[in-house]
Structure 1
């Protein structure tokens, strides 16, 4: 059940459920699409779309900020309630056409938890790598750090909880697993995810436009590369882990 909750005089949040799922992500992005000015909608008037200042999707919610001097919260809430009961919700869902191909060097010298996953799940290193890269992941949310894309869902045979105590330093490009999610750390930071490899591509830059390649709803595919390929692409071997 979708609920609309006012937050302030110029913002509201829509809640789409309690569990992370592709269906919810597609529904949220369908609404984002309908609220943009260049997307036709028989429910949202030009007045509504022209006065939407910001939409911020998350796992199971959507934050909307609007121009309260031109649009009332009641008017926006009513239109959103109508949308939740319309064919726009039950009909064709949004699906991004963008798939990001990310090279990953899977090895203990850049993935210090790779060996732990083999022991925990009674799999060989090759099986862990194969299960991780055989999935087409979806971007469910972006947060924690700029450009940090939360991807799901991880193969249940390699899904692994976070560390009880986070590491003090995770190098940029580190590929991690946390329960049913996986992600690439876009920059150096602390973190508690299980690190199994490293992607040598830059996934966040203040100078780039856009600053990160990911959008919610995009697909991500990991592809294993060799050590030489990793180094040729600019990858750096981490010599110590804290």
Structure 2
């Protein structure tokens, strides 16, 4: 698999952990009741296969991804880590701009483009977030979210190798995201792979604290990540499509 997807991989694989962390119930019964109340029915016909992939992803994270991220956190000065995170946030902005455009949010899309241009130039390829100070706020949109706003259903739940929790709609959206990322078009293969790997490390580093809570919880982690992912994506899509979103506070957002 092309290493460029690695930058998206850790985000997908650990996204449910980020959402799940602040919502720990005291006992399993409390969690089950909470899940029934706020979580939409998740279509998971491939659950046995998905659980196997989920186990594989957990082992990859335990023995490879997380140790590398912790080492990066330990040896890298905080200003450098902040700059790296800013760069990858900036590289994702073309995805955000196109997603906003596809949803008919033309002003937001124009602002997204402006943010990308300002941070790529004045902000030195995005190391410094100059655009926020200029009133160009950061948004987080993606192609799967745009598909959802069009009324396209999520489809069956999927756990992708390394890429983590997804569904048919968002899986197709990942392909669109990939072709909109500027780093996809770096000619030098070594540089392209290096950027991809650094992006994955940065993503996992940002999720170290959030994932620690889930690791310590006596829950069915697969079910929890599945529920958190499905609800959060539904919330995002309904918000952009004009529906009534579930309060984001439920997921610590």
The interval holding the TM-score normalised by the smaller chain is under 0.3
Report the structure, 1 or 2, having the larger helix content.
2
Query: Higher RCO, 1 or 2 (CA under 8 Å, sep at least 6)?
Result: 2
Q: Taking structure 2 as the reference length, what is the TM-score of the superposition?
A: 0.27
- In terms of Rg, which structure is larger? 1
